[in-house]
Amino acid sequence: MKPTTFWEIERAKSRAAKVLFLIFFPFFTLSMLGLFYLLKFFWGIFRGGGFWEFLLASSFMSLILYFMAKAGAKRQRILNFLISLKAQKPDLQDLKHRQVQNVVREMAIAASVPEPEVYIIPVLARNAFSAFDIISITEGAVSSLERDELQAVVAHEMAHYLRGDSYYKGIISTFIMAISTLLGASLFLSGVNKNRDKNRKGGGWAWDFIIVVIYLYLINLMARLLNAAISRKMEDLADARAVQFTRNPLALASALYKVSRDRVRGLASFASPALSSLFIVPPNINSLDEGHGFFSNLFSTHPPTRKRIGNLLNLAHADWNTLRQKAVKKRLKGDFWVERDGKWIGPFTLEELLEKTWVGEGAKIKGKEGTFIFGPQFLQKFTRTQGNCPRCGGPLYETHYEFVPIIRCGRCGGILVREDRAMKLIARGESLITRQEMEFTRKKVEKTREKLISGGANPKTVDPSSPLKCPFCGRPMERKFFNFVTYTPVDFCPKCKYYFFDGGELETIIAGLKRIDSLYK
Amino acid sequence: MIILGIILGIIVLVILWYVATYNKFIRLRQQVKNAWAQIDVQLKRRHDLIPNLLESVKGYMQHERGTLEDVVKARAKAVSATTPEEAIEAEGELTRALRQLLMVVENYPNLKADQHVLELMEELRNTENQIAFARQAYNDTVMIFNASIKKIPDSIVASQMGLKEYPFWEIEEESDREVPRVQF
């Protein structure tokens, strides 16, 4: 039956906790019992203790650990993690983010639960995770997934939320950490002890310690295997439940396909091992390439993505070809060509043309109705905003770049974007960049590198013009490298928190990141 | 003495069972009502959204008078419906008309370039999906409720409480059975 209230979600949580208690409590207690015997046997510690005393002591220890873990599985920890990633609530002025918010509302209705909180993590990696009543999705995933795929991902996370899986995972990580700590401590002690023995017996192996370490190592291994098995089961169940909510298995399959074909593995460095099992696909590897061997499956907290997709395709009566076709982003065929460095690039639709920041005043454009010159009249349907372009003094218009609100100069193509939206532009732009644009970027970045080598690694070397003035507050802007991949110098107003990208710079950054990624593919 | 104890025990058990079943039915009924209320909220939201949407797409869609008029008519009928039967029928019509509109919009690239229209479309899709999912949730809850009041021996409690089966929100068309897979 579907839970309808927070109370029932709590009950589901306590069910997860009960299962844990039934599996891990005896496991940990027995391990501790064994450890007590080993300690008694080798060093005569707790010499007076018999079976019952040891059992009592070890169950007491597990109980304390359990309650500590329960107290530690707190929502605040997840919030802190999100804050450290600069995650934000969806930006409702951005249509794509609004879609995420709407999809969450839809899935909450499908599952008959109160709406969970949503956070968007501003990184290019494609992933999602849920913990307690918080669902978070990375910007890379939001940008690359279609509406129905977002729905499927949210439904999967909603299923975890309903079953209180994150609560389970939070507690279990504490148990495993406790065992690892014991292992670490005994390794350390064995080193100390070996030195002490040296004085007495003249060195040699501390066999007793080696046995204790091996014992703890085996316990650690078993705990991990047990946890991985339970976690894999949870993922399968969440996939099934997601299909129950959306009745659209193909969408979840293509979402998993896109997410696992992620070229940017950037999230690995953020997610601690304890948190990594919370994600929809493991954040540390390209999961379509992951091993299929017996051992890699045993230790994985997720079932092989290929298998998950296969199951969903069976449900949808579809095959891999259908899936690949669905996953390819369909580009609208436009009929505009634009001249760049003596070459005609295209075809673009008119909207795409307006989103290319390197298209500025004077650009030659070839359309069905002949050739014409680009000018501010193309932007006249947009709202004019106060201030003038810091680079050329041209008029500024409020437009959108793949649904992200930006301010664009009608003359030179430069754009102003709020600091918190800059990462979004890059994630969104990925699918817009054409092969020809990539070529231009490659040459441009090479030239920049040469300049930097001869002139010193300073933004001023690449762009020696005098500092720009912020169009909103009039103060001089700071010039800095946006990243150290393409060495693109951008201007930033620390007071208004706005970036200024010169015409074409945004595409350079996007294409540069894309190129670097493909090197590691 | 023993027999008396057994009888007393049985009476206590029966009372406990009765109370538990009674509470279960109360909870289930509440769930059905909640699910229905959800649908109601979404239907109202849809009624409010349509005039705005039509106003902004009118200019672009001169050739689609028929589709637009269908929506206007269906909405008027849905708003003025008084009985639940009427409402269900009129809303079904409105759903079909809107789905037709959403399909037609795909053929107008200019429309898709207008941020304002896109926003309204997203809201409309959101509402359509919410109605569909609310209906799905309602039907699922009704199914559970209807099945459990017929189960023996719980049905004794149910008949004493005067509980009756709730109607499903029927899906009229085969194509409606699918939850919308709308995408941009």
Do B130 and A109 lie within an 8 Å CB cutoff?
yes
Entry pTM: 0.82
pLDDT exceeding 90 applies to what percent of chain B? Answer: 10
Q: Which two tokens stand for residue A215?
A: 């014992």
Q: What are the domain boundaries of chain A?
A: 6-76+165-326, 77-161, 383-519
CB contacts, 8 Å: A245 with chain B: 133
pLDDT bin (cut points 50, 70, 90) of residue A206 is: low
What local confidence, expressed as pLDDT, does residue B178 receive?
46
Q: What is the pLDDT of residues A78-131, one digit of tens each?
A: 888 888 888 999 999 999 999 999 999 999 988 888 889 999 998 888 888 888
Reply yes or no on whether the pLDDT at A287 is more than 60: no
Q: Which two tokens stand for residue B82?
A: 């008084």
What local confidence, expressed as pLDDT, does residue A202 receive?
47
Q: Residue B62 gets which letter from DSSP?
A: G
Do B144 and A400 lie within an 8 Å CB cutoff?
no
Q: Which two tokens stand for residue B74?
A: 């269906």
Q: Per the omega criterion (within 30 degrees of 0), is the bond before A395 cis? A: no
Rounded CA-CA distance B182/A440 in Å is: 36
Q: What are the domain boundaries of chain B?
A: 22-177
More confident residue, B38 or A240: A240
pLDDT bin (cut points 50, 70, 90) of residue B174 is: very low
Do B179 and A248 lie within an 8 Å CB cutoff?
yes
Q: What is the pLDDT of residues A181-204, one digit of tens each?
A: 887 777 777 666 655 555 545 445
Q: What is the pLDDT of residues A458-486, one digit of tens each?
A: 787 778 788 888 998 988 998 988 887 78
Q: What is the pLDDT of residues A378-408, one digit of tens each?
A: 777 788 888 889 988 888 988 888 889 999 9
Supply the ipTM of this predicted assembly: 0.77
CA–CA–CA angle A428, A327, A280 (5° rounding): 75
More confident residue, B25 or A437: B25
Q: What is the pLDDT of residues A152-182, one digit of tens each?
A: 999 999 988 888 787 777 778 778 888 888 8
What local confidence, expressed as pLDDT, does residue A98 receive?
94
Q: Which two tokens stand for residue A100?
A: 């995420």
Q: What is the pLDDT of residues A223-244, one digit of tens each?
A: 888 888 888 888 888 898 899 8
Do B181 and A95 lie within an 8 Å CB cutoff?
no
Q: How many beta-carbon pairs under 8 angstroms link A with B?
A: 68
Contacts of residue A114, Cβ cutoff 8 Å, sequence gap at least 6? A5, A6, A108, A133
Reply yes or no on whether the pLDDT at B11 is more than 90: yes
Shortest Cα–Cα distance, A351 to chain B (Å): 7
CATH superfamily of B22-177: LemA-like domain (1.20.1440.20)
What local confidence, expressed as pLDDT, does residue B184 receive?
37
Shortest Cα–Cα distance, A150 to chain B (Å): 10
The owner of tokens 């998993």 is: A256
Q: Are B106 and B127 in contact (CB under 8 A)?
A: no
Q: How much is the average pLDDT of A67-74?
A: 78
The single residue of A157, A235, A355, A437 carrying the catalytic annotation is: A157
Q: What is the pLDDT of residues A301-316, one digit of tens each?
A: 788 888 889 989 988 8
Reply yes or no on whether the pLDDT at B171 is more than 90: no
CB contacts, 8 Å: A355 with chain B: none
Rounded CA-CA distance A9/A113 in Å is: 9
What local confidence, expressed as pLDDT, does residue A119 receive?
95
What local confidence, expressed as pLDDT, does residue A437 receive?
80
Q: Are A313 and A251 in contact (CB under 8 A)?
A: no
pLDDT exceeding 90 applies to what percent of chain A? Answer: 14
**Closest residue to A110, CB basis, from B123, B136, B182:** B136
Interface list for chain B against chain A, based on CB atoms closer than 8 Å = 30-31, 34-35, 38, 42, 109, 113, 115, 118-119, 122-123, 125-126, 129-130, 133-134, 136-137, 140-141, 144, 178-179, 181-184
Rounded CA-CA distance A261/B40 in Å is: 41
Whether chain B has a CB inside 8 Å of the CB on A197: the answer is: no
What local confidence, expressed as pLDDT, does residue A149 receive?
94
Shortest Cα–Cα distance, B34 to chain A (Å): 9
What local confidence, expressed as pLDDT, does residue A165 receive?
82
Do B31 and A109 lie within an 8 Å CB cutoff?
no
Reply yes or no on whether the pLDDT at A288 is more than 50: no
Look at domain A77-161 and name its CATH class. Answer: alpha beta
Residue A157 annotated to the active site: yes
Q: Are A36 and A58 in contact (CB under 8 A)?
A: yes
Phi, psi of A508 (to 5 degrees): -60, -45
What local confidence, expressed as pLDDT, does residue A135 receive?
92
**Closest residue to B109, CB basis, from A4, A246, A349:** A349
Whether chain B has a CB inside 8 Å of the CB on A92: the answer is: no
Mean pLDDT of chain A: 80
Rounded CA-CA distance A467/A479 in Å is: 7
What local confidence, expressed as pLDDT, does residue A101 receive?
95
Whether chain B has a CB inside 8 Å of the CB on A106: the answer is: yes
CB contacts, 8 Å: B123 with chain A: 102
Rounded CA-CA distance A506/A490 in Å is: 9
